[in-house]
Amino acid sequence: MIWTALVAMQLAAAAPPLMVSDGHKSVRVATVASANGPMLRADALAPMLPIDVHHDSASSYTIEIWGARLRVEAGVAMVKAGDDVYPLAAAPTVDHGRLMLPLQMISEVFPVAVPNTRWDVTSGQLVVFNVGSSAVTMPRAVAQNGGEVARAPRPNYDRPAANDSRLPPVPTKHFRRTIIVDAGHGGVDNGMTGPLNGGPRIYEKDITLAVANRLGAQLSGRGVDVVYTRTADTLIALDDRGRIANRANGNLFISIHVNAANPNWKDPVGARGFETYFLSEARTEDARRVEQMENAAVRFEDSPSKIDRDDPLSFILSDMRQNEHLRESSELADIIQQSLGKMHPGPSRGVKQAGFRVLVTAYMPAVLVEIGFGTNAREAAFISSPAKQDAIAAAIADAAMKYLDRYEQRVNGVRAGSGPAR
């Protein structure tokens, strides 16, 4: 008990406080160190912001500040503001009934989604402006990709002069590779359950999360920024996964899944192997089977998708934002298949295409990897082994890096992160 208290005190001491300033006074908000960075109590911002934290359900919360509504869920590394989805470096947590937020949410999401706030990069503090009137304007910010990102409605306010040294221009983030890692299924959606002929029971959602976490660690070790669509056993809407990827300006989207045999096959318990898909119209009966199986997760979602449920590809394949990535997605899928083939005991089932909803809204090279058949007892044991999960993650990470190297050499002649060709 004493040791636990000492560890908690050391963690708290290791995290510097957040400074919040309105030009007249500054308040220090205590933070707590965690494995993924500093965390702070949401209600601790109340002395400087009109913040209301509503506990909506078991793990869902709504944060209201100056008319902006931010929705978060404990254990899920994302925040929703209206129709926008923002990835988080760490998932919000609950400590003794208090909602804890990652500091990154304050420094990156608040200035975009919450009126009257700005992050001062030089001093590392949140600056709060004084509200001067109730009139509402809709300023826009330039995104990293050159487009526009709509900010939340913002009242007019008395802001410091443009040359105020407290508010220097926000520098452009040095470009780094960003890969979105998506663990299939989650929460009430178990995905595949196996194996068919007995043995330790496995659920797809658990295997995909374990492999996704290991894949993220492998990629981080190679100097890549990683954004997870989920980091806990929580259901994330299929369409939201792609939106998370777009918001993070990802370079690649990799979705991890576990396959299941069709019970009507001649030998369903014997089905084995791995395969990688990219987004296009399914051309084979088996591809359509896998497409229907993975897309069935929409039945667990609370609100209907904006995409036509009967024909999710009816318009998306004519959209240039998707079409321009089809060839690149196909190449990435091929490299992943080759890399997995060097370590996977099952046969390669090849590169395939299908209309996976999880890939539809990701406007970047995107693939879905079926790492094995959980319905096969031997393959279920293989993909359940932590050591084999590490090997699978390493193979996919190797493939992703190989693809990025090839692509960047082909397009720019340089590696990403080293700047444009001169």
Residue 1 scores a pLDDT above 80 = no
CB 374 within 8 A of CB 207: yes
pLDDT at 279: 81
Name the least confident of 80-84, 148-152, 215-219, 314-318. Answer: 148-152
Q: What tens digit of pLDDT does each residue of 329-375 get?
A: 999 999 999 999 999 999 999 999 877 777 878 889 999 999 999 99
Instruction: Record the pTM.
Output: 0.60
Confidence of residue 150 (pLDDT cuts 50, 70, 90): very low
Strands (E), 282-359: 348-354
Residue 193 scores a pLDDT above 50 = yes
pLDDT at 118: 84
Report helix angle 386-411 to 320-340, nearest 10.
130
Neighbour tally for 394: CB within 10 Å: 17
The Cα 225–Cα 180 span in angstroms is 9
Reduced to 3 states (helix: H, G, I; strand: E, B; else coil), residue 379 is helix
Name the least confident of 112-116, 152-156, 192-196. Answer: 152-156
pLDDT at 339: 98
C-alpha closest to that of 375 among 183, 151, 207: 207
The Cα 108–Cα 88 span in angstroms is 9
Residue 58 scores a pLDDT above 70 = yes
Residue 165 scores a pLDDT above 90 = no
Residue 200 scores a pLDDT above 80 = yes
Residue 307 scores a pLDDT above 80 = no
Name the least confident of 116-120, 144-148, 396-400. Answer: 144-148
Question: Is the preceding omega at residue 139 within 30 degrees of 0, hence cis?
Answer: no
- What is the pLDDT of the chain when averaged over all its residues? 77
Burial class (CB in 10 A: 0-12, 13-18, 19+), 222: middle
Residue 11 scores a pLDDT above 50 = no
pLDDT at 326: 83
The Cα 106–Cα 114 span in angstroms is 10
Confidence of residue 139 (pLDDT cuts 50, 70, 90): very low
CB 130 within 8 A of CB 123: no
What structural domains and CATH numbers belong to the chain?
A: 14-158 (3.30.457.10), 178-411 (3.40.630.40)
